[in-house]
Amino acid sequence: CQELKKDAYFKQLLETEQVASQPTLSRFFSRATEETVEALRQLNLELIQIFLQFHQVDNLIIDVDSTHFTTYGKQEGSDYNAHYCATGYHPLYAFESQTGYCFNAQLRPGNRYCSDGAVEFFRPILEGFNRLLFRMDSGFASPQIYNSIEESGESYLIKL
């Protein structure tokens, strides 16, 4: 946030000289309800659909993975992850490989397994887009994931 406050292009893009501080943004986002988060997620997918009209992309390659963010102190939702031997968050991400667009992101507690909630995580992508190829690692190798993608008529690659 502090870097963006000094970025002239960012200020021009927002058509303002004043950019919100990190504490102000934190307070704003901490007030967000589940409905607000879902509305932002849907808006993101709608914007991606618009932006994809300008790209020569026949098939969308959706890279899905989880990662670990170490936390310090007592952060809400932070938990121990034995795989990483650390306390933190274990978010789930879905990026389109050719454009870099983020199709979905979900902050999760650190103790969640990489594919926990993946079927629900994929649903808005499967409902909003066609010609998809999901790429995932072995942590996503489960019949529920296979079935959800196959039932939508889409494809997947899983590195075992």
Q: Read off the pTM.
A: 0.82
Position 25 scores a pLDDT of 78
CATH number of the domain located at residue range(s) 57-159 in this protein: 3.30.420.10
Confidence of residue 95 (pLDDT cuts 50, 70, 90): very high
Q: What's the pLDDT band for 1 if we cut at 50, 70, 90?
A: low
The domain locations on the chain are: 57-159
CA distance 109 to 91: 8
Question: CA–CA separation, 64 vs 1, rounded Å?
Answer: 27
Q: Is pLDDT above 80 for 11?
A: no
78-82: average pLDDT: 88
pLDDT of 119 above 70:
yes
Q: What is the mean pLDDT of the chain?
A: 90
Place of tokens 């489960």: 142
